[in-house]
Amino acid sequence: MSTAIQTSDTLLDESVFAGKIFIDGEWVVGGGGAIPSIEPATGATLAMVGLADPADVARAAEGAARAQKEWAALPHPARSAVLRKAGQLWEQYADEIGGWNVREVGAIPPLAGFALHVTAAETYEAAALPSAPLGSILASEEPRLSLAQQVPVGVVGVIAPFNVPLILAIRAVAPALALGNAVLLKPDPRTVITGGVSFVRIFEEAGLPAGLLQLVPGGADVGEALVADPRVRVVAFTGSTRAGRAVGEVAARHLTRAHLELGGNSAFIIRADADVDKAVNLATWGSFLHQGQICMTVGRHIVHESLFEEYVSKLAAKADSMHVGDPAAGQVHLGPLIDEVQRDRVHTLVQDAVAQGAELRAGGSYDELFYRPTVLANTPRDATAYADEVFGPVASVVPFATDDEAVALAADTQYGLSLGIVTADVFAGLALAQRIPTGIVHINDQTVNDEANAPFGGTGFSGTGSRHGGAQANVDAFTDTRWITLRREPGQYPL
């Protein structure tokens, strides 16, 4: 029996979208059939959602390519108006969409609210893009006017994950549309309503013409068809490094530009002059928010040896005091992991780390999909729970003696997404950060931060660099550059 969230003024009406995908402005039955959207906290079916197949992707890409030309030709105020209205609608329907986010994704209400705030902010930021400068005048050695012009790529494919589906889709969907492109959106099959249906309904209500936002949920076959379709010229993918590598390989074969935002294993350095209580407060948020299911999550706590035992003890005590449970039923600090596969992986990594010599100071247990916040001390450097992304509420803490050792520990990873440093000397912290390759650095803050106008992206196994945040990054991501010259009279050549 469905337990869908309905109100008298419902945006997400199950009777409209149940078991269907969205192509060319219509809800239609997809070739991939239908599956239940499961509430991780209870196992209840929230609604039935439709899945696409590769044939649906081809039809969606054809319709998107057709609709995109008229959209790109509109005067810029018309495109801006749609984005501004969409931003207002995200705010208007925040409670309803936030309710789905809590139940379908397992987010606690404060995180669900933050996601809606960022989603609206991303949309408002994008609303300014249609009137942004989209080119420049170039110097030329010939008697002509030489220009560089940014033009829409045409069709953009957006593949978004389950963990923060609103933010991780809107930061590509909104700027791509604003700059005159059409979008094929493929959300994770586990979070189709929050990460897909809500987008369709918001932009539909905002007046976006049919065909410009196509919803094609599905599995790996749908993702591959999206990346390989010749009409899709740019793919924006957010997800695991393993899946991102596969996307990148397919994109390379088809000469499709791919923006890859991938995994992380962020370091959090606590220098000897840090305030331990303040550091533990930051660490709790950085490691345990959303059950650790965030790419920026603090995975490795690198703590000066003089503070190590105090830090571990206080972090473990904080973890033990946290409430874990159904975020829709009452106030909790942590909700459920997304499914049994993820829970079992997290638990295996914790057990393996302990078997390799890590000290289990808190957590390490679960009930159903509810995993206790876990603190591991002196985790071996070769334990996967320390060396790789866990994507669960697990904090590995190791000591260091000198800044050089802290740098070596923090940089000893294939990832390079976010870095946090806590210190009384902010300039020493900045100097330390300059020696550690990451796409994001926060001095006297933890690693999980996001603002719509700030650059976001990582290095190494964390992806292909910043493609989000600010007008220029978005213009670069979702347009092509044309060189244009104009002569008053035809040129003369010696042939």
Active site residues per annotation:
261
* Residue whose pair of structure tokens reads 């213009």 in the numeric block: 475
CB-based burial of residue 388 (10 Å sphere; 0-12 exposed, 13-18 middle, 19+ buried)? middle
Residue in 95, 81, 97, 86 with CA at minimum distance from that of residue 121: 86
Residue in 48, 46, 52 with CA at minimum distance from that of residue 3: 46
DSSP per residue, 210-256: TTSEEE----HHHHHHHHH-TTEEEEEEES-HHHHHHHHHHHHHTT-
Structure tokens at 389: 């992304």
Distance CA 397, CA 358 (A): 9
**Which long-range CB contacts under 8 A does 375-384 form with residues at least 24 apart?**
375/312, 375/315, 375/316, 375/319, 376/350, 377/312, 379/353, 380/353, 380/356, 381/409, 381/412, 382/356, 383/349, 383/352, 383/353, 383/356, 383/358, 384/349, 384/352, 384/353
Buried b (16+ CB within 10 A) or exposed e, 22-61: bbbbebeebbbebbebbbbbbeeebbbbbbbbbebbbbbb
> For residue 348, what are the contacts with CB-CB under 8 A and spacing of at least 6?
none
In one-letter notation, the amino acid at residue 344 is: D
